[in-house]
Structure formats: C-alpha cells, structure tokens
Amino acid sequence: MPLALYALTAGAFGIGVTEFVIMGLLIQVGADLHVSIPAAGLLISGYALGVVLGAPIMTIATARWPRKTALLALMAIFTVGNAACAIAPDYWTLMAARVLTAFAHGTFFGVGSVVATSLVPANKKASAIAVMFTGLTVANILGVPFGTWLGQGFGWRATFWAVTVVGVAALAVIAAFVPRDTAAPAPSKLREDLAVLGRREVLVGLLTTVLSWVGVFAVFTYIAPMLTRITGFSDAAVSPILLVFGAGLVAGNLAGGRFADRRLLPALFGSLLALAVVLGLMTFAAHNRVAMVLFVGLLGAAAFSTVPPLQMWVLEKAHGAGQSLASSFNIAAFNLGNAIGAWLGGVVIDHGLGLGAIPWVAALVPFVALLLALYSEQVVRKRRQLDCAEQAA
C-alpha cells in the first residue's frame, strides 16, 4: 500500500478520536459548562447530525476542486473546529464548534475513499478503503482511551488541544504524500452529480448502510450497562473489555476489505449475515462473562467487516459523475444509522423489554438489510439478463 494511503489513515484517526472521545468526558464537560450529563450527551448527537448535513454540503462545495486540495481544506476545517472546541466559553459555543468539525467528517471519508481506490490496482480497492478506515478503528483502541485519560487528568480542553495537534500532523502528511495528480473528475453539471442519488441501486446501498449500523449502535450505545447490570462486571472492567471491541474493529475491517477485493457481493452478504448472527447470539452470551467478552470482540469484528464492502458497493453503483457525492452520503448513512440505533435501543428499554432484549431486536435490522441487498442484486441480475436477451434479438 502506498504512503499516501497511510496519510489518509492519519486523518481518519484524528476524526475518529474527535467523534468518540466526548463519550468518556461527559461528566467533566457537564461540570465545567454547568449543564446536565444528558445535555452534554447531546454533543454526540449534534456531531452526528453535523456529519449528515455536512456530507452533501461540503461534497458539492468542493466538487470542482482537485481531490488533494479538498482533503487539505477538510482537514483544515477539522483542525480549526477542534481548536474552537478547546477554547469554547460555553455549552452552545462548544456545540457549534462540534457541528463545524463534523462538517468535514463525511466528505473527508467520502472523497478519501475515492482517492484511496485510485491509488491501488483494481484488485486491492476494497483493501485500500479498509486501510484508510483503520485510522477510525485505531482511534477507538488507542486515541479514545488516551484522550479520556488526558481529559480526566488535565481537563477536557486538553483533549481537544491534543486532537488539534493531530489535525496539524494529518495536514502535513497529506500535503507531503497524497499525489497532486489525484484530481477531481472532469467538470460536470451539479445536476449530473446529484442525479446519482436518484439511482435506485445507490439509494438501496445507502439504506442498507443505515440499517446495518442501526443494529450495531442499538447495542454499542448501551454496552456499558449491559456489561455491568446483566453480565455482572464491575464498572472498572468496562474499559478493558471495550479494548477487545476495538481489536475486533481492526480485525474485521481488514478482513472485510480483503474478502471484498476477492468477491464483493459474497463479502457484503456474508458480513451482514455475520452481524445479524452475532447480535442475535449475544442475547444468550450476555449471561456468561467469558462468552460476553468474546462476543464484544466478535461484535466489533462483524460490525466493521461490513464497512469496506458497503462503501465499495455504493462506489460501484455510483460509477461516473457523482461518485464522491454518493461516497460521502454513504458516510452520512453510517452516522444516521448510529443515531437511529441509539434511539432504537432506548425504545426497547422504555417499552419494558429491558437491556437484555436489545441484542435480539438489533439483530433483526441488519437481517432486513441483508434481504434488501439480496433483492436489489436479484433485480439487477434480471435486468442484465433482459438487456442481453434484447441485444441478442
């Protein structure tokens, strides 16, 4: 893999830390800014909505730029946004800074996915996407725990200053290693770029992404209370167990990329099925400590094994004009799934089913995603057969 790809990984690492580290600093942020913990938790929701809104806006705004220039501009927004978080004097300023930072997220991963696939041969495109997303997984293993420790010891603002430094470093390596010939596609009309979102196959791909990650975050959002209240672990054991989840993310991400390079559709269908099965079986594993730790790792692996094939599937469906836009929308779809998944888990609890029911309810959603993907590909196959028959006639 070329060095330029690891430059993208560095940017992905910084973005991953920014997105998730706030989860470990809610108490410190709430106390310092004089807001409740639930209000501080809305900083996570605000970021997710910023990703969803920012992906189309920033992708359209940078559509005519060389992709390297777009990536540098996005990392600059990310860096400035984190510095603004570090000096935010009040809650609403911090919220605005978080949303500003999130605007860079979707387009960076969307454009970055297109750039990553352009840097490698055709048989390694999904693996290239996986390598870039490794930055996101490593952020969960190393960056988030370190950022939480730093914030707890030196104040939450120190964490955002540290991420700002990561942003500066990512800017430097992208400027140094991403080649300038990775230019934007030939100029096209905005209408042509947007037309890609009207393709049924692209919309199905985006919906599949949303559904798959609804299941992941329905469980992951409530993993700490599940570990302590159902499995019986102490509060201190949660962080080490989440490291197992992070290790699963890395392994699943790289494996998903490798399998998708060999055969994209079997990798897509297999990863969605694996995710549904792991979520369903976690219902029973939750009552045994050893089994639960194993399944936390399997959940991480199954979850991120879907990322390279889902991203590559959407890129293939969006061939030609609008590919960067569709890729960015797919990143937004992951985050929309995160937000809906957290809501779904809360609904399961509020309606009396309890924490123990979340995994099996969550398992139903990626299973629906699998059925949707299978149906979509069956329709495409029949359409191709009809086209071949008409040409033969």
Provide DSSP, 106-164. HHHHHHHHHHHHHTS-GGGHHHHHHHHHHHHHHIIIIIHHHHHHHHHHH-HHHHHHHHH
Can you tell me which residue has the tokens 């807001």? Answer: 35
- DSSP string covering 20-55, please? HHGGGGHHHHHHHHT--HHHHHHHHHHHHHHHHHHH
How many whole angstroms from its chain centre is CA 355? 24
Can you tell me which residue has the tokens 């603002």? Answer: 157
Q: Is 241 left (phi over 0), alpha (psi -120 to 50) or beta?
A: alpha
Tokens of residue 164, six digits: 């700002």
Closest-CA residue to 82 (of 145, 166, 139, 169) = 166
User: How many angstroms separate the CA atoms of 384 and 43, rounded?
Assistant: 47
How many whole angstroms from its chain centre is CA 311? 10
Structural domain boundaries in the chain: 1-184, 187-393
Residues 6+ apart with CB under 8 A from 198: none
What pLDDT score does 61 carry?
82
Please say whether the beta carbons of 314 and 196 come within 8 A.
no
Closest-CA residue to 62 (of 328, 314, 315) = 328
What pLDDT score does 83 carry?
94
What pLDDT score does 184 carry?
47
User: CB burial class (10 A; 0-12, 13-18, 19+) of residue 23?
Assistant: middle
Tokens of residue 46, six digits: 């605000």
DSSP state of 319: -
CATH 1.20.1440.230 fits 1-184, yes or no: no
Please say whether the beta carbons of 369 and 143 come within 8 A.
no
CATH architecture entry for 187-393: Up-down Bundle (1.20)
What pLDDT score does 183 carry?
46
| pTM as predicted | 0.76
pLDDT tens digits, the chain, 393 residues: what are they?
Answer: 677 788 888 888 888 888 777 766 777 888 888 887 667 767 877 888 888 888 888 878 887 788 888 889 999 999 999 999 999 999 999 999 998 898 888 788 878 877 887 777 877 877 887 788 788 778 877 777 788 788 878 888 999 999 999 889 988 988 888 887 544 455 555 666 667 777 788 888 889 999 998 999 888 878 878 888 899 888 778 778 878 888 888 889 888 888 888 888 999 999 999 999 999 999 999 999 999 999 999 999 999 899 889 988 887 887 665 676 787 788 888 888 887 887 888 888 878 788 889 999 999 999 999 999 999 888 877 777 776 766 666
Q: Is 352 left (phi over 0), alpha (psi -120 to 50) or beta?
A: left
Whether the CA torsion 310, 312, 67, 64 is positive or negative: it is: negative
